[in-house]
A and B are shown apart, each in its own frame.
Chain A
Amino acid sequence: MKEKTDSILLSHGSGGSLMHELVRDVFIKHFDNAILGLENDAAVFKASNSNIAFTTDSFVVDPVFFPGGDIGKLAICGTINDLVAVGAKPYCLSAGFILEEGFPLKELERIVANMATIAKLAGVFIAAGDTKVVEKGKCDKIFINTSGIGVFPEANVPLFSKKTIKPGDQIIINGFLGDHGMAVIAARNELEHAISFQSDCAPLNLLLGELLKVDLGIKFMRDPTRGGLATTLCEICEGLDIGIKIFEDKVPVRASVQGLCDLLGFDPLYVANEGKMLIVAKKGSEQNLLSKLRKNPLGRNAAIIGEVISENKGLVTLQTSIGGTRIVNMLSGEQLPRIC
Chain B
Amino acid sequence: MNWLEGYRSRELCEALAMEICRLATRPMRFMEVCGGHTRAIRKFGIPSLLPETISLLSGPGCPVCVTGRAFIDQAISLSSQEDTEVCTFGDLIRVNGNHGSLEKARAEGKQIRIVLSSLDAVEHAKRNPEKKIVFLGIGFETTAPGTAAAILKASRDGIGNFSVLSAHKLMPPAMEGIISEGIPIDGYICPGHVSTITGTRMYQPIVENFKIGCVISGFEPLDLMHSILMLIRQVLNDKPKVEIQYARAVKPMGNPEAQRMMYEVFETADEWWRGLGFLKNSGLKPKHKYYEFDARKVFDIPTFKETDPKGCICGEILKGLKTPHQCKLFARTCTPVNPVGACMVSTEGACQTWFNYEGKN
Contact = CB atoms under 8 A, between A and B. Distances in A.
Interface of A: 1, 3-11, 16-18, 189, 249, 255, 258-259, 264-265, 267, 315, 318-327, 329, 332-333, 335-340
B107 A7 contact: yes
Contact of A320 (B43, B104, B138, B193): B43
B13 A332 contact: no
A320 B45 contact: yes
A11 B10 contact: no
A323 B10 contact: yes
B14 interface: yes
Contact of A327 (B10, B47, B335, B358): B358
B29 to A, nearest CB: 20
Given A322-B45, A323-B14, A339-B64, A333 B337 contact: yes
A2 to B, nearest CB: 9
21 contacts: A1-B332, A7-B107, A7-B108, A9-B104, A11-B337, A17-B335, A249-B10, A264-B116, A265-B347, A322-B14, A323-B45, A323-B49, A324-B45, A324-B221, A329-B356, A333-B336, A336-B90, A336-B94, A338-B89, A339-B63, A339-B143
Interface in B138-183: 138-140, 142-143
Contact of B91 (A1, A320, A325, A339): A339
Given A9-B107, A323-B10, A326-B48, A338 B337 contact: no
B347 A5 contact: no
B73 interface: no
Contacts of A5: 104, 337-338
A204 to B, nearest CB: 29
Nearest to B355: A329
Contacts of B221: 320-322, 324
A10 B103 contact: yes
A182 to B, nearest CB: 14
Given A336-B114, A340-B36, A322 B335 contact: no
Nearest to A337: B90
A18 B337 contact: yes
Contact of B42 (A3, A7, A264, A326): A326
Nearest to B348: A338
Q: Which of A7, A264, A319, A336 has the most CB of B within 10 A?
A: A336
A3 B193 contact: no
A329 B359 CA distance: 8
A258 B63 CA distance: 24
A333 B94 contact: yes
Given A1-B360, A4-B338, A320-B43, 9 more contacts: A17-B337, A321-B8, A322-B8, A322-B10, A329-B357, A337-B91, A338-B91, A340-B36, A340-B142
A17 B337 CA distance: 8
Contacts of A336: 90-91, 93-94, 114, 347
A259 B5 CA distance: 11
A251 to B, nearest CB: 13
A325 B347 contact: no
B346 interface: yes
A71 to B, nearest CB: 21
A194 to B, nearest CB: 13
B49 A324 contact: yes
Q: Which of A3, A265, A335 has the most CB of B within 10 A?
A: A265
B250 interface: no
Q: Which of A5, A11, A339 has the most CB of B within 10 A?
A: A339
Contacts of B185: none
B116 A340 contact: no
B299 interface: no
A258 B43 CA distance: 14
B75 interface: no
Given A9-B103, A340-B142, A322 B13 contact: yes
B228 interface: no
Contacts of A337: 89-91, 114, 116
A322 B90 CA distance: 30
A297 B183 CA distance: 58
B43 to A, nearest CB: 7
Q: Which of A249, A264, A332, A340 has the most CB of B within 10 A?
A: A340
Contacts of B14: 322-323
A3 B340 CA distance: 12
A321 to B, nearest CB: 5
Contact of A332 (B90, B91, B114, B336): B336
A52 to B, nearest CB: 36
A278 B130 CA distance: 49
A129 B331 CA distance: 44
Interface in B319-340: 331-332, 335-338
Nearest to B41: A324
B103 A327 contact: no
Nearest to B2: A255
Q: Which of B46, B337, B360 has the most CB of A within 10 A?
A: B337
Given A329-B356, A338-B91, A338-B346, A322 B337 contact: no
